[in-house]
Amino acid sequence: MCSLIPPPTTRKTSALLCSFLLALATPGVAAEIPLAAKPPLGWNSFDSYGVYLHEQAAWANLESMAQKLAPYGYEYFVIDNGWFGEYRLKPGTLYPLEKHASDMRLDEFGHVIPSQTYFPGGLKPIIDRCHELGLKFGLHMMRGIPRKAYDLNLPIKGTPYKARDIADTNPKNNCTWCTYNYGVDMSKLGAQEWYDGLIQHLADLGVDMIKYDDIVPYPAEVEAVAKAIAKTGKPILLNLSPGGDVDPAAIRSFQKAHMLRVTKDVWDEAHYIDDCFAAWKQWTGQQADNFWIDMDMVPFGQLLVMSPKKELAGDSDKAAVRLAGKGYRRWSQYSHDQMFTFITLRALSASPLMIGGDLPTLDGFSLRLITDPDMLACNQNGVMGKLISAQDGLEVWLAPEKRRPDKGWIGVFNRTDQVKRVTLTKSFLGLTNDATLYNIWRGRKEHKVTASSATELDISPDGVLFLRFE
């Protein structure tokens, strides 16, 4: 049985010791620990707050993350889109009256800075506290240059160029679902310098991770951001988004980042699990050192806290504002079996785990799943599992240990709405040797699989049998 993943302080101490010893063994060579040697773990505000995270909620979730998730290795605290938006609010509340802000706050070079509406105290105190807690701080960014910077024709820092010299205003090349920015024409003088200045601005804020949105269809801008990060000299993790329509031919550009979204936004309905299985099949084997295939966030717990239908609508449901995200304030609609399937899929696919639900109110069942030691060990093993068989609505996926392929994890997924009985044989599970199986979601119950013995078990509709084999 695998042991509990050590807390961040222990892991960091061990990592530093290993680096020191390696440096001693190789005179003159500075040892570097890859920034994303394992699938990144963290929390992102979008599922629970849409693009309306405010200062009080940020503080509450940060402290809850340090208490509830950090001991299990979760380290990235990420504020999603809208942190620079000057929203119109429902009087006397923090609830937004518009999907995207009618104005955004910029500095003199067109770089986004914290909203006075939602972050009147700025981000520095939050970032400092994040680092004090041993966590890393992330921000969401939209590809390109703000349209407001274009309208004002603001200068590009350190150059004779201005925003209108580099903006790509062609509607075909610009985001349709969030119109804050124009794209950047990377063939223009000043284009790379725009990204250099913007990323340095974020690095100076203390940002450790950037979730870059609307950028996957534009590999040239992906490379520009990666170059800009390298120029800062600071370790900044780069997460590319959105997914859904991702060109496999651009994989070399994507691999300059650390995470690649390959699904559209994933929410708490069954068909989103189907989308993740499809993406897993399509992208199996495409992960690489320091580069992970990302299937979006984990929508467990309370979602869309800033989108309460009654408060936004008043006496009429028809008056409710349609805000960012999907639907209105609710608890995750997944059944327990669907949640088992969801998190097992993420573990076996080595997808980064970014928890989306509100952490101060997180329910015990969700917390148990996302901190389970076997699930985390499987995920942090960093081997993307492969499909062994798919028949009669059952799929068997196997992820061997990176350094001990005779050990590992297996998921037997029931993709139907009927109970399925399975017989655990070596051939069915894709094993060549006799093995002891530990049934992770059923109390680590032990089963033996040999040439002469097998076990029969039932799997619930939409459920999974998650096994550790040794």
Q: Pick from 124, 113, 109, 168: which is nearest to 143 by CA?
A: 168
Q: Which residue has the tokens 């001991």?
A: 71
Q: In terms of DSSP bridges, do strands 455-459 and 420-424 run parallel, antiparallel, or are they unpaired?
A: antiparallel
Smallest CA-to-CA distance from 220 within 244, 262, 186 is with 186
All CATH 2.60.40.1180 domain ranges of the chain, comma separated, are: 388-469
- pLDDT score, position 108: 98
| Alpha carbon separation from 417 to 266, 300, 338, 414 (Å, rounded) | 21, 22, 11, 8
Per-residue pLDDT, 9: 40
**DSSP H helical segments within 233-269, as ranges?**
251-254
Cα–Cα distance measured from residue 115 to residue 95, given in angstroms and rounded to the nearest whole number: 15
CA distance 193 to 166: 10
- Domain boundaries for CATH 3.20.20.70 within the chain: 34-384
pTM for the structure as a whole: 0.92
Return the structure tokens found at 278: 């499809």
Q: What is the pLDDT of residue 450?
A: 87
Q: Check residue 245 and give its pLDDT.
A: 87
Judge contact between 70 and 116, C-beta under 8 A. Answer: no
Q: Look at strands 259-261 and 292-294 and give their pairing.
A: parallel
Distance CA 157, CA 150 (A): 14
For residue 320, what pLDDT is reported?
Answer: 57
Q: What is the CATH T-level fold of the domain 34-384, as seen in this structure?
A: TIM Barrel (3.20.20)
Specify the pLDDT at position 312: 74
For each successive 10 residues of the chain (470 residues), what is the average pLDDT?
A: 38 41 38 85 98 98 98 98 97 95 98 98 98 98 98 98 98 96 98 98 98 97 98 98 93 97 97 98 94 98 93 58 90 98 98 98 98 98 98 97 96 98 95 95 91 89 98
**Radius of gyration in angstroms for the set of CA atoms belonging to the chain, rounded to a whole number:** 23
Q: CATH for 388-469? A: 2.60.40.1180
